[in-house]
Amino acid sequence: MDHRRVAVTGVGVVAPCGIGRDAFWQGLQGPVENVERRVNDFDPAPHFENSKEARRTDRFAQFAFAAAAEALEQAGEIDAAPTRRGVFIGTGIGGLTTLEDQIITRYEKGERRVSPFLVPMMMANAAAGGLSMRYGWQGPAENTVTACAAGTHSIGNGARWIASGRCDAVMAGGSEASFTVTALAGFRNMTALSNENFSRPFDLNRDGFVMAEGAAVLILEEWERAEARGATILAEVLGAASTADAHHITAPSPGGVGAVNCIELALEDAGLSPADITHINAHGTSTPLNDAAEAEAINKVFGGTDRPAVTSTKGVTGHALGAAGALEAAAIVLAMQHGKIPPTVGHTTPDPAMPEIDLVVGEARDWTPGPSLSNSFGFGGHNGCLVMGPA
């Protein structure tokens, strides 16, 4: 990061394993209760003035509003000027639920019945724009759409706004709600989804990812301002990086070359060496090629006897696409707060063809919090890595 330190002062989560950060943390311990990773108990009503406003907001943006509200409540009163407060919310697809619903409406009822709110509901920047308007944050309000790396990129980009001096506070994270018949069919027909609807990260019997929905938002602040106002600092964003495989639209580059470059750049940005990293929240989607490439990348960068503990929380959460990296960043902050690394639920059989990594399995592992890495790799060859440290 350029100059100024970046503190994390709030965390908000909406996830299939729990709504709210406390329920989310408990859910990460396993076992998996719902095979389909939807947020079944989510009620948007408390987050809107009336039912009409809620109906005019796509589910992915509803999730972002709920996560941001929880994060802001934990952060407390932020004293930065409105023009010094930014919003950066990533998504992989945006308002796909609304788009598909309205295509069906047009087909069945005609063009005149298509909602005039279709465009503002489906656009990928709806969550970022909506949050800036709701809270009066008048600094930059942007989003990134880099597939499954979007949440990680958004937090890294938001942290750079603070480190560079552009902003004093940023709402940063990711949100996704793409459970539509067409989306599921598309992923299924490209053989990306698990046939058994079961996530087994880094396991010999892994056969694809389990699609999920959800959101997570972190409140980032300039460290000295957060300290001065008496905020409880939860963690620090130390560095971030973004690279491209430039190899294939869906498959990772052979040997995890792009991931290696991204990890090394993130460590350089944080001013750390591989030996400093104590924990990795892996991308770990449970797909054959991606898990193998990531394990190889981790082995190349961190190989040796004193390796960081690795976990994939997607064994519980499933893969929430553009929200995945934000959920995993939230999991790292909570792991630091609890002094435990959650297990890789679903992993039972090591893959002998995969490079060995120190995978946390079975139950949570006690941990003295230290610098941690979060990996995200997306369709299009997008790589995102985030380095965080304890407060």
pLDDT tens-place string over residues 146-172? 999 999 999 999 999 999 999 999 999
Catalytic position from the list 47, 153, 279, 283 = 283
Residue in this structure with the two tokens 């788009």, named with its chain if needed: 99
pLDDT tens-digit profile of 200-239? 999 999 999 999 999 999 999 999 999 999 999 999 999 9
Q: What is the pLDDT of residue 35?
A: 73
The pLDDT value recorded for residue 288 is 94
For residue 173, give the H/E element and its range: strand 169-176
Cα–Cα distances in Å, from 18 out to 23, 160, 191, 197?
5, 30, 28, 19
The gap between the terminal CA atoms of the chain, to the nearest Å, is 16
Query: Under a CB-based contact definition with an 8 Å cutoff, are residues 93 and 321 in contact?
Result: yes
Residue at which a domain ends, from 235, 263, 283: 235
Q: Which of 176, 205, 235 is the last residue of a domain?
A: 235
Contacts of 149 (CB under 8 A, 6+ apart): 242, 325, 376, 377, 378, 382, 383, 384
Tokens of 88: 């950066």
**What's the CATH number where 103 sits?**
3.40.47.10
Q: Are residues 204 and 260 in the same domain?
A: no
Position 46 scores a pLDDT of 94
Per-residue confidence (pLDDT) for residue 32, from 0 to 100: 85
Q: Of these residues, 148, 167, 262, 385, which one is catalytic?
A: 148
Reported as a pLDDT band with limits 50, 70 and 90, residue 390 is very high
Number of domains in the chain: 2
Which residues, other chains included, contact 260 with Cβ-Cβ below 8 Å and sequence gap of 6+?
297, 300, 301
At residue 303, the pLDDT reads: 87
Residue 308 and residue 228 in one domain: no
pLDDT at position 305 is: 66
Contact between 374 and 221 (Cβ < 8 Å): no
Q: ω before 31 within 30° of 0 (cis)?
A: yes
The verdict on 58 and 197 lying in the same domain is yes
Given 190, 213, 235, the domain boundary residue is: 235
Q: Which domain holds residue 316?
A: 239-376
User: Taking a C-beta distance cutoff of 8 angstroms, is the pair 329, 90 a contact?
Assistant: no
Residue 7 main-chain phi, psi, to 5 deg: -95, 145
pLDDT at 124: 97
Same domain, 345 and 250: yes
Q: Which of 255, 279, 286 is nearest to 348 (CA)?
A: 286
Active-site option among 47, 153, 279, 319: 319
> Is 382 tagged catalytic?
no
Task: Assess whether 17 carries a catalytic annotation.
Answer: no
Does the pTM of the predicted model rise above 0.75?
Answer: yes
Q: Which helix (H) or strand (E) holds 174?
A: strand 169-176
Give the three-state DSSP class for 65: helix
Q: Are residues 228 and 343 in the same domain?
A: no
Are both 199 and 125 inside the same structural domain? yes
User: Does the residue 277 lie in any domain?
Assistant: yes
160: in domain: yes
Give the model confidence (pLDDT) of 74-107 as tens digits. Answer: 999 999 999 999 999 999 999 999 999 999 999 9
**10, pLDDT greater than 90:** yes
**Do 44 and 158 fall into the same domain?**
yes
Does residue 80 form part of some domain?
yes
Residues 269 and 245 in one domain: yes
Q: Assess if residue 26 is contained within a domain.
A: yes
Query: Does 124 map to a domain?
Result: yes
319 is catalytic: yes
Residue 390 inside a domain? The answer is: no
Indicate if 104 and 184 belong to the same structural domain: yes
Same domain flag for 247 and 116? no
Whether 298 and 197 share a structural domain: no
pLDDT surpasses 70 at 34? no
Whether residue 272 contacts residue 387, with contact meaning beta carbons closer than 8 Å, is answered with yes
What is the tens place of the pLDDT at every residue in 262-316?
999 999 999 999 999 999 999 999 999 999 999 999 999 998 768 999 999 999 9
Residues 187 and 79 in one domain: yes
Instruction: Concatenate the DSSP letters of all residues of 333-356 into one string.
Output: HHHHHHTEEPP-TT--SB-TTSPP
Query: Does pLDDT of 12 surpass 90?
Result: yes
pLDDT digits (tens, 9 = 90+) for 288-301: 999 999 999 999 99
Identify whether 167 is part of a domain. Answer: yes
pLDDT value at residue 33 = 67
Helices (H) and strands (E) in the chain, counts: 13, 14
Position 389 in a domain? no
Structure tokens at 82: 């409105």
